[in-house]
Copies of this chain bind each other. A is one copy, B any other.
């Protein structure tokens, strides 16, 4: 496995990404099913770790899981005006089943607001039934034109939360709670990816939402990746699906609903934030294998000297970390080192005959490639040292990504500066434009407004596009 199988980031960032997905054996394009991928074991195991930790947070904030049908009557998609515009063009339709043409086609869910709205309208009668706080883990399908593994695929896996409330304030509080306590917390602490929390513009919001909030991350090419969205749907879907309740004064009112989701695209964000030209780099909290132990020996004599130490060391790891002993006989240590580097295993431990004599091991950090990341440490206290290193690596990756983002973000005050800055990363600028202005800006720069950050200085400035005075700054970037 020569190193050149991975294109460098400098040479071709997109190819670098595809090379890592392939060489770390995370996914492959399905080809026979348009725009779909096969999630291979190394990719899916990361998703399982993400899912578990997201699910814990979703439940800790008071939600229960539930599961609605994959198929949605096509007419449902047509009921909310913006929603139909946003999703109707990209749905897959089931028109035949059980050997017969269907009277009304179904669509495979592109998202489930409509079918869930239908059931909520049956389930909710009184204010006592509220709030309804549900989430579902599901596959969804959007017939995408340009696809890329994890980042944009026709079928993807996600969670979609759907809640119903008695007041606008409660719906808004729910939308923000998910943004902060579930999404930003998970992405920053578990994925080690710093995010900007913000509001989407009218142009970029979810079709049918009143307001969409998002978290935006910066990839190593300076582009933005939307890592999660949380929508206050207002009463739009409640009106389209007749979701009403009787309040304390016996008045019938429409509910206020929310929806929010993150998907397997997070795996793409993870890859593009931390990985390097040697391959995948994973934060320990999401590494299916956190440490690999490679015994080093040249003959049976050395082998019988080394293996008992390998056994003893790994015995102490059980239940404390996720590990693998790579004792494959037909491969050289160099080949193995390379393979586990490619696959992003955070720590590598080597044990050879000399280590046995000295009571030491060689320890190599994936986040610091080469000699600099390699050290010789005592076998005594090794497990504790490794657990400490996991924490150090986890926070180190976050700090590195945060530094990178800071270095690639700049305040700009003219349109020319903005155009230059988006070649490098994020541009922050005052914005008072209309949706039409935003569309023109996108045509002219291929950048979009990623969000209006929730944190604003309050200082008034001049809109980078219209010259109007405004107190509102926005983040501009090219995006995935």
Tell me, in angstroms, the Cα distance from A139 to B97 when the chains sit together.
Answer: 16
Tell me, in angstroms, the Cα distance from A415 to B382 when the chains sit together.
Answer: 70
CB distance from A407 to the nearest CB of B (A): 37
The interface size of chain A toward B, counting residues with CB under 8 Å, comes to 50
- For A28-71 the 0/1 string (1 means CB < 8 A from B) is 00101110111111001100100000000000000011111111
CB distance from A99 to the nearest CB of B (A): 6
Choose, from A84-92, A303-311, A445-453, A470-478, the stretch at the interface: A84-92
Given A33-B71, A41-B66, A96 and B92 contact (CB-CB distance below 8 Å)? yes
Asked whether A319 is an interface residue with its Cβ less than 8 Å from the other chain, the reply is no
Q: By the criterion CB–CB under 8 Å, are B96 and A89 in contact?
A: no
CB distance from A414 to the nearest CB of B (A): 40
Asked whether A115 is an interface residue with its Cβ less than 8 Å from the other chain, the reply is yes
CB distance from A295 to the nearest CB of B (A): 20
Asked whether A317 is an interface residue with its Cβ less than 8 Å from the other chain, the reply is no
Asked whether A93 is an interface residue with its Cβ less than 8 Å from the other chain, the reply is yes
Asked whether A105 is an interface residue with its Cβ less than 8 Å from the other chain, the reply is yes
CB distance from A220 to the nearest CB of B (A): 27
CB distance from A286 to the nearest CB of B (A): 15
- For A424-439 the 0/1 string (1 means CB < 8 A from B) is 0000000000000000
A-B contact pairs, 10 of them (CB 8 A): A33-B115, A36-B70, A44-B66, A70-B141, A71-B141, A71-B155, A89-B99, A91-B97, A95-B95, A96-B105
Q: Please give me the 7 A-B residue pairs with the lowest Cβ-Cβ distance, nearest first.
A: A98-B143, A39-B67, A92-B97, A41-B64, A36-B69, A93-B96, A33-B69
